[in-house]
Chain A
Amino acid sequence: MANYSSNQFKNGMKVMIDGDPCSMVDVEFVKPGKGQAFTRVRLRNLMTGRIWERTFKSNETAESADVMDTDMEYLYNDGEMWHFMDPKTFDQVAADQNAVGDGAKWLKEQDKVVVTLWNDNPISVTPPNFVELEVVETDPGLKGDTAQGGSKPATLSTGAVVRVPLFIEQGEVLRIDTRTGEYVSRAN
């Protein structure tokens, strides 16, 4: 593996810190009036999601992490693992609950997702920003109430529960923003 010198650090770089792959969120160069420079880095631990700040002195090195974001298609869940396929190579990987995390509730078969691989093992799964999911359960819609505010819970085909406007009916397909978990519109 290559080593990066702290002078080469930049945002987005993936490095190994204390045995875990981490991504550099923010790199700031700190130079006291006299004396050696430091590089202050905000790091995100890609295994745990923890974000913290570490300081490196000049010429300190960090080992690069073999981390790759790969576009994949979600295949199915076997009750324990989530299975994904690279549509170009047809390679398949299986991710566990830790890697899939909260994103699990947005995963619909055949949707395109980004799987982050570390040494070819999935460590995180990012669902698409917008997904279209069917409402499987909600209170009956209120006719003629389209203009008025107010919302109710709706359970979607993946099990996710979102707040939706009162006029939404069971069986409708909705567009959801997975980053906020909010209803956007009816899908057309």
Chain B
Amino acid sequence: MYRYVIKRVLFIIPTILGVVFIILLTMSFTPGDPARALLGVAAPQADVDALNHQLGYDLPFTRKYVNYVENMIVHQDFGTSYFTKQPVFDEIWPRYQITIKLAFLGVFLAAVLGIPLGIYAAVRQYTLWDTIPSILAFMIAAIPAFVLGMVFLFYFSLKLNWLPSYGIDTLKHYIMPALAISIPPAAMNMRFMKSSMLESIRQDYVRTARAKGASERKVIWKHALMNALLPVITQIGLSLGTLIAGAVVAEKLFSIPGIGSLIVDRISYKDEPVIIAGTILIAICFTVVMLIVDLIYAWIDPRIRAKYARTKG
């Protein structure tokens, strides 16, 4: 078990290095240079060249990569924004927290909405408890989060005037964006939970439990559900990716000052450092969540525990 945990935790280092590499490599195709972007069109070429040299723009890619990683890890320095001329990290950090809060709230809601419905639909297969949520989930699978958000905005803000249409100051502000982004992954969770549960109900160990006279409640909640939940845990972790995409959209739609709306806005200003840093920070958060999911999985699943216990002796 320890070996698995250590191996899995250590894998996060090459992952983060790889993520930074991929992002920097992609960004290196951007036309233009940083000094020109910082100094403006009117600055003399000599100044531009000098600043480019100072910033290390004329170095080869591998050298630039090492410098970036070093600045990032040692100094938490992600460069200077071309647009506001402020340190990128200071600009991003407060917005990062908002995005993460929104995305995690979404993961939570998607799990709370989707999983019980999925379990119930599987246990009551072919009744209305199954067909109605299943048809709904099928339809939601064809609706993108931003359309849901617009519909909410139309009814709850414009027509009924119940909820504020922009900003993120109070809890009330979170309701619409969080619901809009969590309903599509909730539908996904529901479908996933249902099929996992249906599979689990038909397994031999469930029949054994019934045969030895366990109550129906115990069969469902202990024997079937505990096994059916395993693959769903990974699914919930992966839904964070969907929710980050959702958060970007919701931030744009509801004018929330998060990292997604920041990146989208700065694309038109060619503000490369902000886009690189924002992407890296979110990817790091995603990596850590996937790590936690894997560890929980290993902790719960006796098969993985057994595999590593045996090799360790």
Asked if A and B bind, the verdict is no
Interface residues, chain B, CB within 8 Å of chain A? none
